[in-house]
Amino acid sequence: MLRAYLDSTGPARKVVRYRRGDVVFSQGDPGDDVRYIQKGAIKLSVLSRIGKEAVVAMLGPGDFFGEGALAGQPVRIGTATAVVPRASVLIIEKEAMVRLLHDEPAFSDRFISYMLTRNMRIEADLVDQLFNSSEKRLARTLLLLARYGQANPQRTLPKISQETLAEMIGATRSRVNFFMNKFRKLGLIEYNGGLKINSSLLSIVLHD
């Protein structure tokens, strides 16, 4: 029942489809709903007062975003952009989302589990930025994008630029290019019309 709800439309919810480069919502837009990714990938970014953009997350199928609306956040604090040719996003109005969380235990459990997992991911990202090299940060980011260790990993990633990867790990594009070539030569990743992530890439993250 939960899966059917998240895959369908109905009162107070609709599905919107986006193409690569389409803006799902912009920083400063009213925050009056919660979004759920049915298909594709969404980039979340934040623009500073001096015009510098930082990518804060890459999200895929099964991920929620825009949940700040539930905590009384009046406007979006970042911009969401589609990064694949076709993405489908379920838009759930704030009031409907609140009712779901109150009335549907299965939905509430799913959402709370997602938020706890995301909070742990944010903490791990902070530790990663503070203590790990850019090579390890890149390897970890690629594994996370491929959903390594989850029930349904996607070894072939949607197209993502080296500029975006550089923004995500806090490095330069030239450093990302250097490490991507290194990973490819070691057989840790492959280019075959898409970017294929092999589980052996984990060795970079675990190496001291």
pLDDT per residue over 167-186, tens digit each? 888 888 999 999 999 999 99
Q: What is the pLDDT of residue 151?
A: 63
C-beta separation of 177 from 163 below 8 A: no
Taking the C-alpha atoms of residue 164 and residue 3, their distance in angstroms, rounded to an integer, is 31
Q: Cβ–Cβ contacts within 10 Å for residue 134, how many?
A: 17
- Give me the percent of the chain exceeding a pLDDT of 90: 38
Taking the C-alpha atoms of residue 41 and residue 36, their distance in angstroms, rounded to an integer, is 11
pLDDT per residue over 99-150, tens digit each? 989 998 988 998 998 888 888 887 877 777 777 789 999 998 888 888 887 7
Q: Which residue has the higher pLDDT, 151 or 68?
A: 68
Q: What is the pLDDT of residue 75?
A: 95
Q: Where are the beta strands (DSSP E) in the chain?
A: 13-18, 23-25, 33-39, 42-47, 53-59, 64-65, 79-82, 87-93, 156-157, 189-191, 195-197
Check whether 96 has a pLDDT greater than 70: yes
Nearest to 83 by CA among 39, 144, 31, 139: 39
Range 12-36 average pLDDT: 93
- Reported as a pLDDT band with limits 50, 70 and 90, residue 87 is very high
Q: Compute the mean pLDDT over every residue in the chain, rounded to the nearest whole number.
A: 87
Range 52-61 average pLDDT: 83
Question: Edge-to-edge strands of the sheet including 79-82?
Answer: 23-25, 79-82, 42-47, 53-59
Q: What is the pLDDT of residue 9?
A: 73
- Reported as a pLDDT band with limits 50, 70 and 90, residue 70 is very high
- Reported as a pLDDT band with limits 50, 70 and 90, residue 27 is very high
Question: Considering the entire predicted model, what is its pTM?
Answer: 0.75
C-beta separation of 148 from 199 below 8 A: yes
Torsion over CA: 167, 170, 175, 176 (sign): negative
